Amino acid sequence: MLSRDAEHFYWLSRYVERAENTARILNVNVELMLDFPGDKSSMWKPLIEITGMEKVFIEKYQEFDEINSVKFLSDDKENPNSILSSLIMAQYNARPIRNNLPRSSAEQLNLILKDFINDMASTKSRSRRTNYIYEVISKSQLFFGIISDNFLRGTEYQFIKLGRFIERADMISRIIDQQCLRDTSTLGENFPTLQWASILRSMSAYESYRMFSQGDISQKEVLNFLIKNKDYGRSISSCLYNVENSINNLPRNTPIKSEIKNLHNRIQKARLEKYSDMKIHDFIDLLQRKLLLIDELIDKSYFHNN
Amino acid sequence: MINLKEYSSNGAFDEFISDQSKFRTQASKIGNLLNSLTSSELKDIHQATQSAIKSMGISFRVYDKNNSFEDRSWPLDFIPRIIRNSEWDTVSKGLQQRCKAINLFIEDCYNDQEFLKSGLMDPNLILKSPSFKKECIGMKLPYSVWSHISGTDLIRDKDGNFYVLEDNLRVPSGVSYMIENRLVMKKVFPELFNHYGVLPVDEYTSKLYSTLASLQSSKSKPEIVILTPGVFNSAYFEHSHLAQQLGIDLVQGSDLLVSEDGYVYKKTINGLKKIDVIYRRINDDYLDPLVWNKNSTLGVQGIINAWKNKKVVIVNAPGCGIADDKAVYSYVPQMIKFYLNESPILKNIDTFLCSDKNSRDYVINHMQDLVVKPVNESGGYGIVIGRDTTNKERLEVGKKINQNPRNYVAQPLVSLSTAPTYCSGELDARHMDLRPFVLSGAKNYVSVGGLTRVALKKGATVVNSSQGGGSKDTWVIDR
């Protein structure tokens, strides 16, 4: 398989997953805000920080209010990580490999982007826009659904899986990090529970979490669930197993395999329930550096190996 | 339904309906069928055709003056063009004869130059042409073939005979549309096939593969790639389609490199892999920044050297464009005589070379009856149809010809044959041409029929899809 084609498959998948995850965190915040009247700027800032784009944001908008934040994360082309930019980049990567994708999945991808542009331009209504953003989630899932139902389990498929699960693990770690670092002292004592409940909802994890854990929704339990639970598809651990599984089907995989194994061990050994917020931050930081390293190894082994 | 009394081809040869307002024999079954359909039934078939094309993703790209582009659905008319096998057989032989002579001519130009020395042609037409590549001098290629894949444009004139309009020897496109057109037709009009023994067209891709493979001798499973300029090229659909049909990689220049051992490699997830044959869809000038266009980012550094050292096969061969020129075209009948000692099976259209003083004066004075063409353009660009111009415009063109006479030829306005075509709810006569594809290698092969392009505007004769042309499925029938 051509290196460039592999890279296109990988990034196509990462960008679709990124658009979906951005839509998820946006929606959960919009919902969460309804529970908290008063100054909202402290609720939007962390969200922008998750995407690592606060500098670009401040230059353009200054105020961390809802209108600016939603605009920035949804259809602002100047934000390279907005939903719109991610979908455009997904399209860009899909174009050269279009004939190798199941036709209906390529059409679905076109549709997500086209609908999103048209819908967002068609209305200023806050609730409608929230709905349109929400639709990105289901449409992206449909895209991956078509791929997983119709695509030969060949090398191409492995790169799609790699991109999807590395992106997902990365995004979950960012979400967790920002929530743990958030200054909640002014938001009242109910905030942490509400916050973690809404994070679970944003990842469609609430129901699964409820089957796994009774009683209060506590940070400790949620963290264990989102990071270590192998049976839940959006946990970091489960993402990592998917990455490992794909890597096993690819050539020249020894260095990547040992890096993944190493990360698995770190995660399973971590006693998250005993960690302070600061220590969790350090742990997440380590996770992200390792994910970045795996991404670099994939790049070096397959995309730029000459 | 077709109103046979009012149907008019405006003096052109109509392939369905004779001068006596009757269906020709081979068109009678389909003609009667079309006549039995109401206009709403015709509309249904038209819409089914459009939606099949859309869902199959058959598209082509058009650029405007600002260099922005859009992908449009490929235009296909659901009424096929029908050619009898007995006639096609002759055309097919004529095309092979022509390609054989042209290929011998190209090799001759880069070697002994016997044709040029024979006095049959002004040698400067070749030696001073920008398409003449001195890097190719002395090269001898397997089977003496330089243009392995060509797409010769044919038209049927008033007398009902096929004539060659031009030889496209560089990187002719359109064959994917020929293949896809048939798939669409089978979906939307299956009942039509029952009435005719329509010969299949899709063996083209396997013949293309064996032609490409026949150009190297070392391996039974050679590594073949298609080299594309990339997604922004207007023919990217075809590049991608062919790569998929052949099951080979579609590469860009940046995917290839020439290693120290002089061979060409592609970059894969397993590391470097040696390439045997490159079917390139990039023009000569962009192939190798070390040799021709220095700023080309589309090509591969050192690829021409690899080719000269026979470490890789490039298809079509660099430098083959020397014979793809509307002035050189006029000498093909002499080439056939000179190299093969045969008389040409397919006829040329009379061509006036503006480089010749007498012809030039004639062209400038009779421009309203002629079509003026730049010799080195393709895609219908720069063509001036005298009859459609004002006095002032003709003066302008005359000036351009005088400034650079070598750059222009003129031909009498030929009449392109017509066939009934579905246009805004009615069946009306539209002009069309035909582009068959000829493969030359260890064996020769001519596509069954080819791509029929049809001008959708009434009376128009420019059939290029970039300029509003459509297409028809081309049926060669054995009964």
What Cα–Cα distance (Å) separates residue A254 from each residue in A260, A274, A302, B106? Answer: 10, 34, 13, 52
Q: Residue B38 half-sphere exposure, CB side, CA atoms within 13 Å?
A: 2
Subunit contact B57:A106, Cβ cutoff 8 A? yes
Residues B298-345: tens digit of each pLDDT: 999 999 999 999 999 999 999 999 999 888 999 999 999 999 999 999
Which one of B55, B250, B268, B281 makes the best mutation probe of the A interface by having the most chain A beta carbons within 10 Å? B268
Bigger pLDDT: B64 vs A56: A56
User: Which of B230, B250, B269 shows the shortest C-beta gap to A3?
Assistant: B269
Beta strand B162-168 with B347-348 is parallel
Check if A5 contacts B (Cβ < 8 Å): yes
Task: Report chain A residues whose CB lies below 8 A from the CB of B240.
Answer: 96, 98-99
Bigger pLDDT: A220 vs A39: A220
Residues A225-281: tens digit of each pLDDT: 999 999 998 999 999 999 999 999 999 999 999 999 999 999 999 998 898 888 998
Q: Residue A1 half-sphere exposure, CB side, CA atoms within 13 Å?
A: 23
Q: Is the predicted pLDDT of residue B284 greater than 90, yes or no?
A: yes
What Cα–Cα distance (Å) separates residue A222 from each residue in A49, A147, A193, A265, B14? Answer: 21, 30, 10, 20, 77
Q: What is the mean pLDDT of residues B165-194?
A: 93
The pLDDT, as a whole number, for residue A185 is 67
Check if A185 contacts B (Cβ < 8 Å): no
Instruction: Give A30's contacts (C-beta < 8 A, 6+ positions apart).
Output: A66, A70, A130
Q: Residue B461, class by beta-carbon neighbours within 10 Å (0-12 exposed, 13-18 middle, 19+ buried)?
A: buried
What Cα–Cα distance (Å) separates residue B223 from each residue in B116, B230, B312? Answer: 37, 20, 10
Tokens of B268: 């894969």
Subunit contact A98:B252, Cβ cutoff 8 A? no
Q: What is the mean pLDDT of residues A41-65?
A: 85
Subunit contact A4:B271, Cβ cutoff 8 A? no
> What is the C-alpha to C-alpha distance for residues B103 and B146, in angstroms, rounded to an integer?
6
Subunit contact B271:A2, Cβ cutoff 8 A? no
> What is the C-alpha to C-alpha distance for residues B317 and B298, in angstroms, rounded to an integer?
17
Q: Residue A153, class by beta-carbon neighbours within 10 Å (0-12 exposed, 13-18 middle, 19+ buried)?
A: exposed
On whether both A218 and A296 belong to a single domain, the answer is yes
Instruction: Give A92's contacts (C-beta < 8 A, 6+ positions apart).
Output: none
CA angle B105, B110, B113 (to 5 degrees): 65
The pLDDT, as a whole number, for residue A19 is 97
Mean pLDDT of chain B: 93
Residue finishing a domain among A110, A133, A150: A150
On whether both A13 and A68 belong to a single domain, the answer is yes
On whether both A164 and A255 belong to a single domain, the answer is yes
Task: Report chain A residues whose CB lies below 8 A from the CB of B251.
Answer: 2, 4
Bigger pLDDT: B289 vs A219: B289
- Distance from the B419 Cα atom to the nearest Cα atom in chain A, whole angstroms: 34
Looking at chain B, which residue has its C-alpha nearest residue A100? B244
pTM of the model: 0.89
Subunit contact A250:B269, Cβ cutoff 8 A? yes
Range of the domain at A177: 153-306
The pLDDT, as a whole number, for residue A50 is 81
- Distance from the B56 Cα atom to the nearest Cα atom in chain A, whole angstroms: 8
Residue B148 DSSP SS3 = coil
Q: Which of B360, B341, B258 is nearest to B306 (CA)?
A: B258
The pLDDT, as a whole number, for residue B81 is 97
Q: How many residues does chain B have?
A: 479
- Distance from the B255 Cα atom to the nearest Cα atom in chain A, whole angstroms: 7
- Distance from the A5 Cα atom to the nearest Cα atom in chain B, whole angstroms: 9
Interface ipTM? 0.86
- Distance from the B171 Cα atom to the nearest Cα atom in chain A, whole angstroms: 20
- Distance from the B135 Cα atom to the nearest Cα atom in chain A, whole angstroms: 30
Looking at chain B, which residue has its C-alpha nearest residue A4? B255
Which one of A4, A7, A157, A253 makes the best mutation probe of the B interface by having the most chain B beta carbons within 10 Å? A4
Could you give all domains of chain B from N- to C-terminal order, each with its CATH number? Answer: 223-275+277-311 (3.40.50.11290), 350-412 (3.30.1490.270)
Instruction: Give B161's contacts (C-beta < 8 A, 6+ positions apart).
Output: B347
Residues A93-102: tens digit of each pLDDT: 999 998 888 8
On whether both A159 and A182 belong to a single domain, the answer is yes
User: Which of A95, A99, A251 shows the shortest C-beta gap to B270?
Assistant: A251
Residues B127-140: tens digit of each pLDDT: 998 899 999 999 99
What are the start-end ranges of the H helices in B142-224?
A: 175-188, 190-195, 204-213
Beta strand B271-274 with B69-73 is unpaired
On whether both A276 and A191 belong to a single domain, the answer is yes
Q: Which of residues 101-120 of A touch B (CB under 8 A)?
A: 103, 106-107
On whether both A93 and A166 belong to a single domain, the answer is no
Tokens of A177: 């990090």
Looking at chain B, which residue has its C-alpha nearest residue A302? B269
Paired strand residues for A188: none
Subunit contact B269:A95, Cβ cutoff 8 A? no
Looking at chain A, which residue has its C-alpha nearest residue B249? A2
Subunit contact A306:B56, Cβ cutoff 8 A? no
User: Which of B55, B231, B252 shows the shortest C-beta gap to A95?
Assistant: B231
Residue finishing a domain among A150, A171, A197: A150
Residue finishing a domain among A121, A150, A179: A150
On whether both A169 and A273 belong to a single domain, the answer is yes
On whether both A113 and A179 belong to a single domain, the answer is no
On whether both A196 and A272 belong to a single domain, the answer is yes
How many domains does chain A contain in total?
Answer: 2
The pLDDT, as a whole number, for residue B47 is 94
On whether both A177 and A82 belong to a single domain, the answer is no
The H or E element containing residue B371 is strand B370-374
> What is the C-alpha to C-alpha distance for residues B41 and A274, in angstroms, rounded to an integer?
75
Residues A205-216: tens digit of each pLDDT: 888 898 888 877
Q: pLDDT grade, residue A183 (50/70/90)?
A: low
Tokens of A22: 């951005």
Which one of B269, B270, B274, B301 makes the best mutation probe of the A interface by having the most chain A beta carbons within 10 Å? B269
The pLDDT, as a whole number, for residue A162 is 97
What Cα–Cα distance (Å) separates residue B349 from each residue in A255, B141, B154, B168, B371? Answer: 66, 30, 10, 15, 11
Bigger pLDDT: B220 vs B91: B91
Q: pLDDT grade, residue B164 (50/70/90)?
A: very high
On whether both A165 and A217 belong to a single domain, the answer is yes
Q: What percent of chain A has a predicted confidence (pLDDT) above 90?
A: 55
The pLDDT, as a whole number, for residue B378 is 63
On whether both A164 and A231 belong to a single domain, the answer is yes
Check if A193 contacts B (Cβ < 8 Å): no
Q: pLDDT grade, residue A38 (50/70/90)?
A: low
Q: pLDDT grade, residue B380 (50/70/90)?
A: low
